[in-house]
Structure 1
Amino acid sequence: MRISLKLSRIQPSATLAINAKAQELKAQGKPVISLAVGEPDSPTPEHVKQAARQALDDNFTRYTPVPGIPELRDAVGGYFGRFYGVTPPREAVIVSNGGKQVLYNLFTALLNPGEQVLIPAPYWVSYPDMVLLAGGEPVAVPTEPEDDFLVSVEALEKARTPLTRALVLNSPSNPTGCCYSKAQLDAIMEWAVGRGIFVISDEIYDQLVYPPAERLSVVHWWERHPEKVAVVNGLAKSFAMTGWRIGYCVAHPDLIKAQSKIQGQSTSNVCSFAQKGAVAALTGSFDCVEQMRQGFERRRNLAMEIVSSWEGVKCPNPGGAFYLFPDVSARFNAQTPDSASLCKRILEEALVALVPGSAFGDDRCLRFSYAVSDETLLKALEAVGKVLKG
């Protein structure tokens, strides 16, 4: 069968593939522990579920406006006003089917064929492939563990060409968990805005930060330069709502209209009653989010204590999200010469599923998610440590 040529450069999601292999082993009766998928282990907060139940009882099950129901778009603006002191108007907000669709819509709306997007590496697995699907060219900008995998203005300037159209920032980062400081973020934004480079800031983990890291957003830069900045966020990570598929974007109203046009011809509106749950999340108490944040911080500390003891392994201390991204290249050998082969060995011998760093643009590393119970995390790390030692 003939398939579109544009798919020849697209890779399947590595995280989902690893998780599928783990599920296959589990089905065979093997006690596999998965640290591969970035999904909180907490349930969705009760007040959010209740709002969705009420919407169902009220038969709120029809089509809604493509960019989201008005009260949800207002709630998104209110979220930024609540935490960052900038309240975007309704016309500057769109709600999409998860942060992933927001990003896809943005790349599609912004890029002409061949235009380049700078993506600091390591990066979330889907960024480069989304750029390719939109007709653009992803340009990876390498970083080092000694710098907490944070990109510098100098490295970005070196990678810039006349075809550079956009820059993707992600802080806290998936896969590293590392965070930019306000000074670092401002320096990058000043560089990008000054050179006419559009900035897409993926802030999906902004509520999950651990002191001394700060909760930050570039929404202030959007307020000053709305034609050069888009802010992406959602409820999957902070409210344990991965399956609800609620992502949102703050951007120039013209760019919101463009995204709405794309969305209207692809998926149309987000699930109607899920939007009511999202309103409850954004306008209600964030105590439940704080409890999850504290739990993740405790697990981060537990995991770092163990991983830091592994000989030859280097791992920056993450300031947010729920991932570790250690450089394990010192443990490579003839049998396991790269991250993929080492992940395969760990899955087979330790029955622990991890994601190879090659999927994130850095083959030296492995990604661990610590969004599991303390007991499960400790058991998994002990088993991985034995394989690495061996």
Structure 2
Amino acid sequence: MTKAASIDIASVSKIYGKTTAVDSISLKIPAGSYCCLLGPSGCGKTSTLRMIAGHESISVGDIRLGPTVVNDLPPAKRGTAMMFQSYALFPHLDLIDNVAFSLTMAGMTKNERRAKALDMLTLMQMEAYADRRPAQLSGGQQQRVALARALITDPEALLLDEPLSALDPFLKVRMRAELKKLQKSLGITFVHVTHSQEEAMALADLIVVMSDGRIEQAAPPREIFERPATAFVARFMGDHNVISGRSAGGADGLAQLSIPGASTFAAMGTASADNQPLDIAVRTDRVRLGGPVTKGLGFTGIVSNIEYRGATVKITCDGAGISDFTAIISDKAFFATTVSVGDAVPLNWDAGDAIVLGRLDA
């Protein structure tokens, strides 16, 4: 395989008429890394991927693959390959000819391209199906063929547009393990668009969380999980509760947040100017039920919902100025209590499990 390419996106925007799909984003993706562009529908992640691929023009800014600015290069000249969400296999061709199609267009001889296509199918453990057509394959098998076709050009970066979205949940888990293994064995750069937080956490070296055409946070999975940069990231990833209010000063490394008519809360971080809007995040899996409520680090809530999840139980509570506050506790801890919907329960956490969140416009 060829070497991996770093990708440098510098102040890139994509504008459709009066709509800005991607708003002046900058991002460096290291060579040989697995990067997931993550966010809800319409956040700009697919437009960003298509600009890297050359399937969308760049309105403003530059994209570099390695040392080369690729803005004006056609897709075939960029050193990238793209695997589309639909797989886009040719129904009338067998797998060999599907995989070898780009080599046919490049003028490679029939024997050479068929030999290389069979090598790629062998890499994907699909050589036994070489003479079949796509309609005779399962979804997971079609995905492997689409991967083989993308990789046959020896790209420096592979671009994947929601490649697992058409698969059933069990197959998704299996195929993401295969994708990670494949990326590590090939050593090339993968850029993978997804709206699944679980998928991004499982696959990525670098997660880029996007919203409204902008990057909210770009960081390794553990940092995204433990230290979300903004309220959007904390809410979207789902592992933190967000409490919004106004700054009420701070001391000893703790900022104070005040909610009118409710409690004052403490969180690790620097307080903004008094009475300015402030968001803090509290880890859902660090919230404890029961015991005395610690000032600034807890409140008494009314249980609004309980979801049993096997090893854990999700308990949702409402309090004064706070709604849908979540605690994730072990099934053992839950069944040792008698908590029911409608009960008033004390909720507590440690100072280290609450952090001050930044703001994208700051």
Q: Which of structures 1 and 2 has the bigger CA Rg?
A: 2
Give the number of the structure whose residues are more often strand, by fraction.
Answer: 2
Query: Per chain length, whose mean CA-contact separation is higher, i.e. which structure has more relative contact order (CA < 8 Å, sep 6+)?
Result: 1
TM-score by structure 2 length?
A: 0.29
